[in-house]
Amino acid sequence: MERQLIKGNEAIVKGAILAGCRAYYGYPITPASEIAQAAALYMPLVGGTFLQAESEIAAINMVYGASGTGQRVMTASSSPGISLKQEGISYIAGAELPCVIVDVMRGGPGLGNIAPEQSDYHQMVKGGGHGNYKNIVLAPNSAQEMCDLTMLAFELSDKYRNPAVVLADGFIGQMMEPVVFPKPVTEFPEKKWAIRGTVGDKRNLISSIELDPDDLERHNRKLQQKYAIISQTEVRFQEYELEDAEYILVAFGIVSRLVQSAVDTLREDGVKVGMLRPITLMPFPTLPIEKYAANERVKFFSVFELNNGQMVEDVRLAVNGKKPVKFYGRMGGNVPTIQELVDQVKKQMREL
């Protein structure tokens, strides 16, 4: 297979087009702008739509409209823009529309800065907008996965009629790596619910309003059931050097690449350490973590993030008090060095 050296942000757009996405609506923001630029370049060439919207709010509502017609559609932004999209995402989740939302996270709160953070974990994985809904959230850690997980996001979002998020950070977006692009998807699920302006679908309705409390509760229960099925069937994670690991490091996205190097370094020093990397953040790999937590060999879990400790909450829930759960985070766009991670693990080992 032919490899192409490409930026993560651009790999997302090519992956999306290969997945059959033919509409992109977005508003520029660093460090996600290359996604809009690549979409502007390629969408017209494949007969798709690219539109720079007047705001992130407008963009996500254009996505709502396009998705309602059954089209595979996406938007992308970075943290402040994602905050603006939350209203629309809640409506999309409520109306059970599929779509793909890419968040190339940057430093916050407020305007923050354009450097990489992972501080949108809460707002993307836990909901973010109002209501009892969840997004499907995939966390790539390479340019290859920027393509692959974007394609998977389209598949899952159609399958479950649910918004799917590709949660990346400024680093993976800006990084260039070789990518092998797969063949274009040619088979798509039938969308009987879509509105296409024909006699056959004119009774279809895309809406999130349910005035009657019983109806709305029923709708919410149905959504929760859907999330439960997703949690049972769609969990994806990577295990690295875990066969004999006594110390389990947990990290997602770019941090997992750093932690992988730290594991290599620590292993050279004879420390039995490994990494568990959630690839899906919703559904969270709760069961595998539970399994390791129950294993006598394992002494602690240590979570590394570029935030104030957000995913660590889900690790704690999964570990459920069986083992200590440590946390080390950097914020503001600072990225730890490998040595820093190694030192942290050694310090945590001493504290045990």
Partner 1 sequence: MSTKILSKSEGFYDVYDRRPGTDKDTTHYCPGCGHGILHKLIAEALTDFGVKDNAIIISPVGCSVFAYYYFSAGNLQAAHGRAPAVATGVKRSLPESIVISYQGDGDLAAIGGNEILHAANRGEAISVFFVNNAIYGMTGGQMAPTTLIGQKTTTTPYGRTVANEGYPIKMSEIIASLTAPVYVERVMMADTKSISNTRRAVRKAIKNQVEKKGFSFVEVLSTCPTGWKMTAPQAEEWIKTTLAQHFPLGVLKDISGDVEPLNLDHHLLPTDRIGKAINLPEADADQPKFVIPDTVNEEIKISGFGGQGVLSLGVWLSEFGMREGLNVSWIPSYGPEMRGGTAHCHVKLANRPIGSPLVVHPTILVATNRPSLEKFEKEVIPGGKIFWDNSLMDITPSRTDIIRYPVPATEIANQLGNTKTANVVMLGVITGVSEFLDENIVRRTLPQIFKKKHLLDINMQAFNKGLEVAASLKRIA
165 versus 175: smaller Cβ distance to partner 1:
175
Q: How many residues bind partner 1 (CB under 8 A)?
A: 83
| Residues from 195 through 214 that contact partner 1 (CB under 8 A) | 195-199, 201-202, 204-209, 211-212
Q: 98 preceded by cis ω (within 30°)? A: no
192 contacts: CB under 8 Å, gap ≥ 6: 201
Cα 304 to Cα 325: distance, rounded to the nearest angstrom: 11
In angstroms, give the least distance from the CB of 350 to partner 1.
24
Q: Say which DSSP state 332 is in.
A: T
Question: Does 4 contact partner 1 by CB under 8 A?
Answer: yes
> What is the nearest approach in angstroms of partner 1 to the Cβ of residue 232?
31
Would you count residue 65 as binding partner 1 (CB under 8 A)?
Answer: yes
Choosing from 73, 136, 166, 266, the residue that interacts with partner 1 (CB under 8 A) is 73
Quick check: 91 binds partner 1 (CB under 8 A)? yes
Can you list the pairs that 223-230 forms with residues at least 24 positions away whose Cβ atoms lie under 8 Å?
223/93, 223/96, 223/132, 223/133, 224/132, 226/160, 226/162, 227/134, 227/282, 227/283, 229/160, 230/136, 230/156, 230/160, 230/162, 230/282, 230/283
The correct pick among 63, 137, 166, 325 for binding partner 1 (CB under 8 A) is 63
**Which whole-number Å values give the CA distances from 265 to 39, 88, 195, 260, in the listed order?**
40, 44, 55, 9
Question: Is residue 61 near partner 1 by the rule CB under 8 A?
Answer: yes
Per-residue interface string for the shown chain with partner 1, residues 267-296, x marking contact by CB under 8 A: ------------------------------
Q: Are 224 and 132 within 8 A, CB to CB?
A: yes
Which two structure tokens, joined as six digits, stand for 128? 């973010």
Q: For partner 1, give the closer residue by CB, 56 or 314.
A: 56
x/- binding map, residues 11-50, to partner 1, per CB under 8 A? --xx--xx---xx-x-----x----------x--xxxxx-
Q: If binding is defined by CB under 8 A, does position 54 make contact with partner 1?
A: yes
Task: Kindly identify the residues of this chain, within the stretch 310-329, that bind partner 1 according to CB under 8 A.
Answer: none
| C-alpha gyration radius of the chain | 20
| Residue 96 structure tokens | 């059970």
Is-contact 97 67, C-beta < 8 A? yes
DSSP 8-class letter at 235: -
Under the criterion CB under 8 A, does residue 338 sit at the interface with partner 1?
A: yes
171 near partner 1, judged by CB under 8 A: yes
Note whether 258 binds partner 1 by CB under 8 A: yes
Query: Residue 66 in contact with residue 93, Cβ under 8 Å?
Result: no
Minimum CB–partner distance for residue 322 and partner 1 (Å): 29
Min dist. Cβ of residue 294 to partner 1 (A):
28
Question: Phi then psi for 291, rounded to 5 degrees?
Answer: -60, -45
Please list every residue from 104 through 163 that binds partner 1, using CB under 8 A.
107, 113-116
Which of 75, 319 has the CB closer to partner 1? 75
Complex with partner 1: residue 48 or 163, whichever CB lies closer = 48
